[in-house]
Structure 1
Amino acid sequence: MSEFRLIQITDTHLSADFPQFVANFQRVCAFIDAAKPDLVINSGDLAFDGPGRPDDLAFARSLHDALPIACRYLPGNHDIGDNPTLVAPPPAQLISEQNRQAFVSVFGHDHWRFNAAGWCFIGLNSLIMNSGLACEEEQFDWLASQLAGLNGRPLALFIHKPLFLNAPDDPELAATSIRYVPMPARRRLIDLLDRVDLRLVACGHVHQRRDYTWRGVRHIWAPSSSFIIRPEDKQATIGVKEVGLVEYSFQPDSFKVHHSRAPGQTDIDLFSVITADGTARPQ
């Protein structure tokens, strides 16, 4: 295959309780159907509340199954719970093996690797990092073995959380620690990646579009397909607050990125559809 085309979507937050997010997803599906990429990757937060309402996971899977294109999936914090960090209290929904297994039972895997167009593509579960769960060490061992077998291929990494804000040694702050892969797992991951020809890190999680390069590696923050978080007191602006998706075209030793938006997608503000306790506002 001389060219490999994929579309990244993320943070779909699907639930039968939120038809507004489903409508945005259906517009994305129509875009994908017309574009006909080789693969779709959803880089996490497929469900609105997987840990609290497991039916959301099954609902999200049923909507993805309607796509005419093959999909690969990664878990997000709204699917399996969040990482513990060194600088903040444990999150309300903490990652657990039970939650991870619930995701795997619906979506098949929580990390993967494949090759296409001369590239290696690896997807990682970023939520188990820093957890101390057995699966964290197993994934690091698996990653090391996969990287050892690249045989010179350039690497594209897909992950739910950004590795960092601007640089690997960015200080962790309590207010934003859950936004990025936490220390010390971040340092261990980057040390492994420094040994290979990493060209791309593609993530989601922040609900903002961002595209920058650090030491030759392009970092793409894909926007949510579902909603934005508008108030500055709820989330500071880092990139561009808009919904959308990202298109990629890979050829041997090169790739292109196109930032896209499906016709009809709406920049829904999260707090216009949920109450303070996280439940749906009456329509």
Structure 2
Amino acid sequence: MASIRIMQISDTHLSPRTHRFHENNELMIDVLKAADHDLIIHTGDITLDGIRFEEDYPFCRSFLERAGKDIRYIPGNHDVGDNPRLSQPETAMGSAISPTRLHRYERYYGADRWSIDRDNWRLLGINSLRVGSGLEGEQQQYDWIGEQLATLGERHLALFSHQPLYVDTPESTELTYWTVDPIGRQNLHELMEHKQLKMIASGHLHQQRSRGHDGVRLEWCSSIAFTTREELVPEMGGNREVGYLEHVLHDDGGIETRAVTIPGFVNSYLDDCLLEVYPKY
């Protein structure tokens, strides 16, 4: 049976302003160099604080280019900004998503969404921070998703997003930092309910968890950089250990996912260095 092998990495959180998290990412470069996967996908938070410091962008790009591999990227909240209903605006040095921050990402990494057809699969990468942002481009992404579904044919579908679309089920209407905006998520109902959607793979939570809902695999990828204790990220049933994921997508729609960690990875906690790497503004 034909299959597609995918390496998913996430939340590298790199910056030239600190050597925190460089050790794990250096080890990951060696793994990437040796990788023979069909695709390598980075599900966001490439930068430590690219929304405030543009210097993080060229540093991250140069750092990961050393692997010599074609990596598909989508942005995370530290790359383009947080939901504006949860955050102060950029003009107040807040973390809210903004056109300036979106354009900065695009200058370094190109489009913030993509579609790949391989064998019997279509893989979609979206900018989850646009969902519910109210910014120009939000509706265009919904329209683009609709076009991808309309031209899907008989292919199976896998979605890659920085944030999970939901934690366990899509019924929750509470706005939280942990998932996409539930109001904006209403515009994704056709995608979430599509009979050919087989997997939603995300990062953001710095936990690894494999579950399912209504026939869809919900795969959370750990961070390469760090994990957290419950004081920062509440208990959601995930494994708090740094690492990455390997997915095998079979032609019949079956999926195998394996969580991988590397000897030498430091399982550091953001709680122990939060004010050092993210000082209050």
TM norm structure 2: 0.92
Deviation (angstroms), 1:276: 6.6
Q: What is the aligned-residue RMSD (CA, Å)?
A: 1.9
Q: Tell me how far 1:272 sits from its aligned partner.
A: 2.4
| Within-5 A mapping of 1:137-152 | 137-152=139-154
Deviation at 1:277, TM superposition (A): 7.8
2:209–2:220 contact (8 Å) kept in structure 1: yes
Asked if the contact 1:147–1:196 (Cα under 8 Å) also holds between the matched residues in 2, the reply is: no
Residues 27, 263 of structure 1: 8 Å contact kept: no
1:219 aligns with 2:218: yes
Indicate conservation of the 8 Å contact 2:224/2:244, yes or no: yes
CA distance in structure 2 between the aligned counterparts of 1:219 and 1:153, rounded to whole angstroms: 19
Identical-residue share of aligned pairs (%):
35
Letter of the 2:167 counterpart: L
Structure 1 counterpart of 2:189: 190
Cα distance 1:32–1:277, how it changes in 2: closer, same or farther (>3 A)?
A: closer
Q: Distance in 2 between matches of 1:257 and 1:196?
A: 20
User: 1:161: Cα distance to partner?
Assistant: 0.3
CA distance in 2, matches of 1:20, 1:41: 23
Identify the residue that residue 113 of structure 1 maps to in structure 2. Answer: 115
Q: What is residue 202 of structure 1 aligned with on the other side?
A: 201
Q: Secondary structure at the match of 1:122?
A: strand
Secondary structure in 1 matching 2:257: strand
More displaced stretch, 202-211 vs 16-25: 16-25
**1:161 aligned to which of 154, 157, 163:** 163
For residues 165 and 261 of structure 2, what CA distance do their matches in structure 1 show? Answer: 24
Secondary structure of the residue aligned to 1:275 is helix
How much has 1:275 moved relative to structure 2? 1.9
Q: Which residue of 1 aligns with 2:29?
A: 29
Q: Which residue of 1 aligns with 2:95?
A: 93
TM-score (norm 1): 0.91
Q: Which moved more, 1:35-44 or 1:150-159?
A: 35-44
Cα deviation for residue 22 of structure 1 reads: 1.6
Verify: 1:42 aligned to 2:42, yes or no: yes
**The 10-residue stretch of structure 1 (108-117 or 247-256) with the greater mean CA deviation from structure 2:** 247-256
Given that 1:21 and 1:227 are in contact with CA atoms closer than 8 Å, whether structure 2 keeps it comes out as yes
Segment drifting more, 108-117 vs 164-173: 164-173
Shift of residue 34, structure 1, vs aligned partner: 2.7
How many equivalent pairs are there?
274
